A and B are shown apart, each in its own frame.
Chain A
Amino acid sequence: AQKITQTQPGMFVQEKEAVTLDCTYDTSDQSYGLFWYKQPSSGEMIFLIYQGSYDEQNATEGRYSLNFQKARKSANLVISASQLGDSAMYFCAMRGRGAQKLVFGQGTRLTINP
């Protein structure tokens, strides 16, 4: 079984600063995928970034990057130059080998202060 742990219930960051959202995972699978989603107050889930367990380089998508440390089973999301519009809930999720369902963490509420 897969498990995702997000230990930061809430974070407050000044605009334009970089922010790191923590995510650790537990799985016995050798092949798996890690996802980050953003959920604004409207409720929609917005895909941000994906990292495969066999990807040698850390994934990047614009201002988002994933700090993937496989040995530590961690997949932290880094947002560079934060903006007011980044204020939202952020979820880390995992898909195990042979399974199509996503398992989610509890989420981190990020607030960007002007």
Chain B
Amino acid sequence: DGGITQSPKYLFRKEGQNVTLSCEQNLNHDAMYWYRQDPGQGLRLIYYSQIVNDFQKGDIAEGYSVSREKKESFPLTVTSAQKNPTAFYLCASSMGGSGYTFGSGTRLTVV
């Protein structure tokens, strides 16, 4: 079955550490996105990529980095510069903006 796989489901980060969240899709979608969700809040766009080797900052890109070396993969790195990284992170993909498929999310906690 086609879909988006996010891993891990839960992730714990120590202060000052970089961590990478994985997002893989087998839908052959061109565009991929990373959103952050804080408790009781809506989704805010971190980064998005419309084609391989190209990506754009969203509304809250500071402290995050991404790469898009393959069409199927769009990993997100939460760097030590992100001062409040505890949140739920959702990856999504789309083909031409006509429909969006979301992964099941990664819950990141700073310990």
Interface residues of A (CB under 8 A from B): 4, 6, 9, 33, 35, 37, 42-45, 47, 50, 91, 93, 95, 99-107, 109
B100-A102 in contact (CB<8A) = yes
24 contacts between A and B (CB under 8 A): A6-B42, A9-B40, A33-B97, A33-B98, A35-B100, A43-B90, A43-B105, A45-B92, A45-B102, A47-B99, A50-B99, A91-B43, A95-B97, A99-B97, A100-B96, A100-B97, A101-B33, A101-B48, A104-B42, A104-B43, A104-B44, A105-B42, A107-B40, A107-B41
| Cα of A75 to Cα of B31 in the assembled complex, Å | 25
Secondary structure dominating the interface of B: strand
A44 cross-chain contacts in B, Cβ below 8 A:
102, 104-105
Question: Are A100 and B94 in contact, with the CB atoms below 8 A?
Answer: yes
Contact A106 B50, CB 8 Å, known A35-B100, A99-B97, A100-B94: no
B-side contacts of A100, CB under 8 Å: 31, 48, 50, 94, 96-97
* Number of chain B residues whose Cβ lies closer than 8 Å to a Cβ of chain A: 25
Given contacts A43-B107, A45-B102, contact A101 B43 (CB under 8 A): no
Q: Closest residue of chain B to A106, judged by CB?
A: B42
